[in-house]
Amino acid sequence: MIIDTHCHLDDVRYYEDLDGVIANASAQGVEKFIIPGADPKSLPRAVEISEKYEDVYFAVGVHPYDAAAYDRAVLEPYVNHPKCVAIGECGLDYYRLPESEEAIGAEKMLQKEVFIDQIKWAKELDKPLIVHIRDAGADSLELLEKYAGERGGVLHCYNADEQLLKLAEKNFYYGIGGVLTFKNARKLIHVYPKIPTDKLLIETDAPYLTPHPHRGERNEPAYTTLVADKMAELSGISREEIEKFTTDNCMQLFDL
């Protein structure tokens, strides 16, 4: 069994054929799914999907790109839903910053403020955190070391930044996705063997980051099998073993 720990099934690109996407995944042994929160406007859709499909769970959170839309009061009613398993995705993303120094400072400040609030919220609720980090390793490390609770979480997008491996000690897991199959994945291929096996998870980030050989197409949870194959190839252990420990890790972290 494989669990897709990060797939945006609430995305408009699945409106037409979600039944098919889920059936296709199940046929490949992908049996559970977690929809991370991103834009608060799509949260009702994530809840609806989790109520329709027994094996779909969701998280409540706001992506750094939507930091301006963050309001804990709006999200609050969703966190006690029985299918809400985490807070996130939240984090820092400095990949697309504004032009002027002043605007950059304001953007970073806003992202940090919203990230800190979600880290604290997860700690209060004793829920794991789903963290998105892009080009912001040092600042993210500082905030997580300072504020994160013992429950930890998963770093789903972290640029294969080696300094972040330190967070394994704080019960953070590492989500491995389609990037591992890319021809230019040198950095991740280098970092991957250094991640303890009891801290590895599988994810797609569907509909984004589609693995080889489907790059350019819409991603879907069934393609986690390509990631699992690549992990097996790089570690020299069997697909079955990869499936077993990543599933155990996921159950442990999210308490499914």
Our CB check for Zn ion shows the closer of 161 and 205 to be 205
Instruction: List the beta bridge partners of residue 132.
Output: 91, 157
Q: Is 211 helix (H, G, I), strand (E, B) or coil?
A: coil
Which residue number, 99 or 152, has a Cβ lying nearer to Zn ion? 152
CB of 248 to Zn ion, least distance (A): 23
Q: How far is the CB of 100 from Zn ion (least distance, A)?
A: 26
Residue with the shortest CB distance to Zn ion: 132
Q: Supply the minimum distance, in Å, between the C-beta of residue 110 and Zn ion.
A: 17
Work out whether strand 56-60 and strand 84-93 pair parallel, antiparallel, or are unpaired: parallel
Between residues 65 and 239, which has the closer beta carbon with respect to Zn ion? 65
Contact between residue 90 and residue 45 where contact means Cβ atoms under 8 Å apart: no
CB of 157 to Zn ion, least distance (A): 4
Neighbours of 231 (CB within 10 A): 22
Tell me how far, at minimum, the Cβ of 237 lies from Zn ion, in Å. Answer: 27
User: Do 253 and 201 contact (CB within 8 A), yes or no?
Assistant: yes
Sign of CA dihedral 118, 119, 125, 127: positive
Nearer to Zn ion, 61 or 149 (CB): 61
**Footprint of Zn ion (CB under 5 A):** 89, 132, 157, 205
How many angstroms separate the CA atoms of 170 and 50, rounded? 29
Measured from the CB atom, the residue of 10 and 89 that comes closer to Zn ion is 89
